[in-house]
Structure 1
Amino acid sequence: MQLDPKWRILTVGDGDLSFSYSIKTYLQPQQIIASIYDSESTLREKYTSHALDKLKASNTPVLTEFDVTDKTSWSRLNGQTFDAVIFQFPLIPAFASHHEFKENSLSINTLNRRLLRYFLVYSQSIALDKQGPMLSIITSKDVKPYCEWNLEQTLHQSLDLNYLGQTEFDITRFPEYKIRNVDRDKHVKDTRGISYFWSPKHAPVQPLTKPSYLSESHCAMCRVGPFLTEQDKQAHLNSKKHKQMSKHEQAWQSYLNQAVE
């Protein structure tokens, strides 16, 4: 991910705020505002090491209790707009109990997609300056369950948005950044990260690529192919992996058909 220092940047869901602090320190953008889901007291209790005080010392605004799925949280920006809004390694928190899990009618896969759908909708409609590049950026992992969300194809379905492409996320560009567990004071093992870019505008602002599995000779949903013969294709369509991914897609389409945004 290459960020332009001329950009005004908003980060959301930045667990211990180390990503925002890295951007502030090493990129020195025109403007940066950071936000976290937790309250300040929860942040301090959860993480023995965090960047809140460092950001405060550098006069960087930090919004606490910022819920990506809640429109009123976004309204706290008070009309401020940005060139890029970034959500790093999003993942819904674990359910507090088995009962809570059973009470929810949506699958974990759909809940994670819904979280990112809200991010796209509200970052575009509220936070991004229509005169700028209007970039909504999600960095995610190339392992389960993240790779099962079909980000490139169905996340922005029916929205006035284009999937511009993706780029490798090079964590060495952000020396202070520690990827955190969503619920605990624990660093997550560094795995391959990919930053995905969306905008209502067509021209990408940096070199981005689109993976080969998005072509017609592949199964984009499962990220496999190319199929050299019809027999190979049919074998995949009958596979356990494809059937499971089809269930995820059907559940997501059912949610989209009922959702009011």
Structure 2
Amino acid sequence: MAKSKKRKVTNHSTNNKPPAKQQSAKAAKPGPSPKAKPTIPFHSEDRILLIGEGDFSFAKSLVDHHACYQVVATCYDSQEALYEKYQPQAEEHTKYLEESGQTVLYGINATALDRTKKLINLGPQWDVIIFNFPHVGGKSKDVNRQVRFNQELLVSFFKAAIPLLADNGTIVVTLFEGEPYDLWNIRDLARHSALEVQRSFKFAADVYPGYSHARTLGNIDGGGGWKGENRDARSFVFQKQGASGEKQPEWKRGSKASKKRKREGEKDTSDDDD
């Protein structure tokens, strides 16, 4: 009898199929981090004193775009010299300010504010005093002498401004970053003038529409080799020593990052917000 052939059985069960290749999921690309909101060191209702204005474009922006309505804007130049240096925009800006009910003062010395009757008579004291880009001008080409001259300017300004400051008021000074400005050591100058550093932050010129940095020499044909509003700059906020315990507006209390560091027990050695 012939042997029956065994039939080879192929197992078609899906359980023995090799596992299908799985494509590795691509890691989701993180989205762009939200842009930090720029710091504006005043409120629209503050009594604001501006020192050392150039063509008054900063003052105009405060009124026109930030709805500030208690502004006194001053410059060191006489009215005649100002209009000659910054023609035609200075006259346009000062006219706008005065027509908006603000005060413009000429010939105001930043180192003698406490002895200037025009300011004293305006009382009461100021919530915010702002001095953007102070500089003595080209007194010397020697860097060390320039540093010393500008340090003397700042110390004299601080001492003259303090008597005009409200109890919880602040002084804001903006400087370019890098040398020679870092050599001025503005934090130490303020501490030796009975002030303490409250915070500092990057100055964002684009927050002030219409503002343009005015050179001490006046308008330069072609705009000069650089524009100040495009350079990195930092604003420093100072208050009277011992005033830190007083009630402060939210923007004056320090950044969220600084608060987080304190909650987590990390030593916070910097007043910089960014």
Q: TM-score, normalised by structure 2?
A: 0.67
Match of 1:61 in 2: 103
Instruction: Choose the corresponding residue for 2:185, options 131, 150, 156.
Output: 150
Match of 1:109 in 2: 147
Match of 1:139 in 2: 174
**Pair 1:33-2:72 in alignment:** yes
Instruction: Choose the corresponding residue for 2:138, options 91, 94, 97.
Output: 94
- C-alpha change, 1:45 and 1:92, in structure 2 (3 Å) is same
| CA-CA distance at 1:59 after TM superposition | 2.4
Are the equivalent residues in 1 in contact too, given 2:112–2:157 (CA < 8 A)? no
Instruction: Choose the corresponding residue for 1:19, options 58, 66, 69.
Output: 58
Distance in 1 (CA, whole Å) between partners of 2:81 and 2:138 is 16
| CA-CA distance at 1:70 after TM superposition | 2.3
Match of 2:205 in 1: 171
Distance in 2 (CA, whole Å) between partners of 1:33 and 1:66 is 11
**Pair 1:197-2:225 in alignment:** no
Are the equivalent residues in 2 in contact too, given 1:13–1:36 (CA < 8 A)? yes
Equivalent position SS for 1:107: helix
- C-alpha change, 1:53 and 1:30, in structure 2 (3 Å) is closer
Distance in 2 (CA, whole Å) between partners of 1:75 and 1:150 is 31
Unaligned stretches of 5+ residues in structure 2: 1-38, 259-267
Distance in 2 (CA, whole Å) between partners of 1:55 and 1:113 is 31
Q: Deviations over 1:184-224 (max 9, x none)?
A: 214533211211011011156415468xxx959xxxxxxxx
| CA-CA distance at 1:128 after TM superposition | 1.4
Give the length in aligned residue pairs: 202
Instruction: Choose the corresponding residue for 2:118, options 70, 76, 80.
Output: 76
Are the equivalent residues in 2 in contact too, given 1:94–1:183 (CA < 8 A)? no
Percent of aligned pairs with the same residue?
23
Unaligned stretches of 5+ residues in structure 1: 96-100, 217-261
| CA-CA distance at 1:6 after TM superposition | 2.0
- C-alpha change, 1:67 and 1:157, in structure 2 (3 Å) is same
| CA-CA distance at 1:144 after TM superposition | 2.0
Distance in 2 (CA, whole Å) between partners of 1:151 and 1:159 is 11
- C-alpha change, 1:198 and 1:184, in structure 2 (3 Å) is same
Are the equivalent residues in 1 in contact too, given 2:75–2:106 (CA < 8 A)? yes
| CA-CA distance at 1:62 after TM superposition | 0.6
Are the equivalent residues in 2 in contact too, given 1:67–1:73 (CA < 8 A)? no
Equivalent residue letter for 2:235: S
Match of 1:161 in 2: 195
| CA-CA distance at 1:4 after TM superposition | 1.0
Match of 2:45 in 1: 6
Equivalent residue letter for 1:4: H
* Within-5 A mapping of 1:240-255: none
Are the equivalent residues in 1 in contact too, given 2:114–2:161 (CA < 8 A)? no
Q: TM-score, normalised by structure 1?
A: 0.70
| CA-CA distance at 1:72 after TM superposition | 6.3
